Structure 1
Amino acid sequence: MAALDHVVINTLKSMDAAADLFAALGFTLTPRGYHSLGSINHLMMTPGAYLELVGVPDTGRQRQEVLDSPFGLNGLVLRTFDADATRDRLAASGFTPAGPVAFSRPVEVEGVEHDARFRTVRFPPETFPAGRVYFCEHLTPELVWRPEWMAHPNGFLAIDSFTVSSPEPEEEARRLATAFESTATPVDDGWRIPLDDADVLVVPGETAGFRTATLRFSSLDDIAARAQGRSDAGWQVLGTDAGVLSLPAFDLNLTCRSSR
């Protein structure tokens, strides 16, 4: 069974605005990274899966894959410890995976620059029409999961689930389950695919898309207050221990729940 590695939010050419907004909402962002593929990023780390803001620089090489993707939630990324073996397994299961693709970005640790290195295995866009699904192998995890980036003023702790909408939810769920070496189980509102440390939910929808990621916080008091104090963010209460953070400029809704 695969584990969730990270969830991607595409900012296209609005990285400055996105980084400022997420910082104002109480997330700790890693320093800006510059991928060798022509994209830029900031991470919001947890001990497990993390959130990534990705975009393209104003000048220079620009990653076409990012430019071709819409604003907002557009990357569901699973962890692999052997990209070659994952590619071979997916091919044996009837998929047509691409890669591995190797890339890197500089990371400064205690005044010394290192290269964080990665290898990814991806699917053709038509495989999962809801959005980009791929596997990532971290060759230098010690440069990504750094203790100084784990604490968030708003109490962000983890990513618990990821929700996909589909006009054919059963078929989509079974296809995802095969890719993730998991199973698809019917639930009240769709299909559940358990991962090692999170769930993927596939629900009925008129169009295919990534609907939301569910983030866990130590408490919702801080994130709710920060969202309610801004004109560019919204907060909808779902109960005593849950709410929805909406960021219209990025066509983004994130479900938030408290661990209390």
Structure 2
Amino acid sequence: MSDAAIQPVLDHVVINVMGKLDEAAAQYSRLGFALTERGHHTLGSSNNLAIFGTNYLELLGYLPGRETMRADLWAHPAGLTGLVFKSVDADLVYATLKSRGVPVMEPMSFARPVALPTGAQDARFKVIRVGADMVRNGRTFFCHHDTPELVYRPDWQAHPNGVTDIVEFVIASYEPARTAAVYDEMFGPDLLVPVQGGVSFRAGAATVLVLEPAVVADRYAGAAPVSEDGSDRMVALTFKVASLATPRALFDAVGIAYRPYAGGIVVSHPDAANVALGFTSS
């Protein structure tokens, strides 16, 4: 059995905005992300996407009257709640994780219509979800794109803020090694690398960082790092840009505050649907 299907490569991230899709889409458009048209899943949720070179960002929520559909999603706190890896073979991912003793659900298929100049087509996916008990306040799963050409479209990959990819995904945890253990089980051994205040691992173009809350707050403009009960939270993203002058000029023009941080600038979580957003050119 090849392990090629379960390499840690970031596919997309999910920001849970619940019933505030319009508000979140307006926030992210103002931040310089060119969002796709609102999409509607066959399972009942709705989204807007920001597509980059090798990964993308999903604003996920529900329309009025649909809050009871996919109710398990809305039990998570508002903000970053999904760390999603690429799959090249859904059945192989499922079988491999099962063989490694990782609680995992069978592949599930769904779709959403995509509006194109030539007419609507269905983007089709399979997801393989890691057991809910393994990840606090969020989800980790694999996404298999049956129709990647309906997601990674060049005309959707140019953004006014200059973003080309997501390069960091940040989880705040008082016990980083414990939190990251599931990823070592999924992709290891020897996946995790010690860093100041926690651990990290590479995921394609991105690095996943599991850090102590104080380190997160210091680096990401006081990002709300943990839940009231002290449990883990997914809290911050960093994006690659060719030049920091591009997002700086945009934020200055529209009046969005930002601060310097290691390697770039950061917009605090109240300005971005409860997710701190870093921008780096390094």
Q: TM exceeds 0.5?
A: yes
What TM-score comes out, normalization by structure 2 length?
0.84
Counterpart of 2:27 (choices 5, 21, 29) is 21
Q: Which residue of 2 aligns with 1:67?
A: 74
Q: CA deviation at 1:181?
A: 4.5
Q: Give the Cα separation in 2 of the matches to 1:149 and 1:25.
A: 16
Relative to its length, the structure with more strand (as a share) is: 1
Q: CA deviation at 1:247?
A: 3.8
1:123 aligns with 2:130: yes
Q: Give the Cα separation in 2 of the matches to 1:63 and 1:207.
A: 23
Equivalenced residue count is 257
Q: Give the Cα separation in 2 of the matches to 1:109 and 1:181.
A: 40
Q: CA deviation at 1:203?
A: 1.4
What TM-score comes out, normalization by structure 1 length?
0.91
Asked if structure 1 preserves the Cα contact closer than 8 Å seen for 2:51 and 2:152, the reply is yes
Q: Which residue of 2 aligns with 1:187?
A: 195
Q: CA deviation at 1:167?
A: 2.4
Q: Which residue of 2 aligns with 1:132?
A: 139
Q: Which residue of 2 aligns with 1:164?
A: 171
Q: Which residue of 1 aligns with 2:221?
A: none
Q: Which residue of 1 aligns with 2:264?
A: 242
Q: CA deviation at 1:171?
A: 2.5
Q: CA deviation at 1:207?
A: 3.2
| Other structure's SS at 1:29 match | coil
Q: Give the letter aligned to residue 219 of structure 1.
A: S
Q: Give the Cα separation in 2 of the matches to 1:192 and 1:168.
A: 13
1:4 aligns with 2:6: no
Q: Which residue of 1 aligns with 2:60?
A: 54
1:97 aligns with 2:104: yes
Q: Choose 79-88 or 55-64, whichever is displaced more.
A: 55-64
Asked if structure 2 preserves the Cα contact closer than 8 Å seen for 1:106 and 1:116, the reply is yes
Once the two structures are aligned, what percentage of the paired residues are identical?
Answer: 36
Q: CA deviation at 1:202?
A: 1.4
| Other structure's SS at 1:126 match | helix
Q: CA deviation at 1:11?
A: 1.0
Counterpart of 1:204 (choices 183, 197, 212) is 212
CA distance 1:138–1:181, change in 2 (3 Å) = farther
Asked if structure 2 preserves the Cα contact closer than 8 Å seen for 1:38 and 1:62, the reply is yes
| Other structure's SS at 1:109 match | coil
1:146 aligns with 2:168: no
Q: CA deviation at 1:228?
A: 4.6
Gaps of 5+ in 2: 1-6, 214-229
1:221 aligns with 2:227: no
Q: Choose 170-179 or 13-22, whichever is displaced more.
A: 170-179
| Other structure's SS at 2:24 match | helix
| Other structure's SS at 1:75 match | strand
Q: Give the Cα separation in 2 of the matches to 1:187 and 1:69.
A: 28
Q: CA deviation at 1:130?
A: 4.8
Asked if structure 1 preserves the Cα contact closer than 8 Å seen for 2:46 and 2:63, the reply is yes
Q: Give the Cα separation in 1 of the matches to 2:35 and 2:248.
A: 19
Cα RMSD, aligned residues only: 1.9
Superimposed CA distance per residue, residues 43-64 of structure 1 (whole angstroms, 9 cap, x where no aligned partner): 1111201111111111347321
Asked if structure 1 preserves the Cα contact closer than 8 Å seen for 2:77 and 2:137, the reply is no
Q: Give the letter aligned to residue 25 of structure 1.
A: L
Q: Give the Cα separation in 1 of the matches to 2:36 and 2:261.
A: 30
Q: CA deviation at 1:221?
A: 2.6
Q: CA deviation at 1:253?
A: 0.7
Q: Give the Cα separation in 1 of the matches to 2:156 and 2:83.
A: 21
Q: Give the Cα separation in 1 of the matches to 2:58 and 2:172.
A: 21
Q: Give the Cα separation in 1 of the matches to 2:269 and 2:199.
A: 27
Q: Give the letter aligned to residue 102 of structure 1.
A: S
| Other structure's SS at 2:158 match | coil
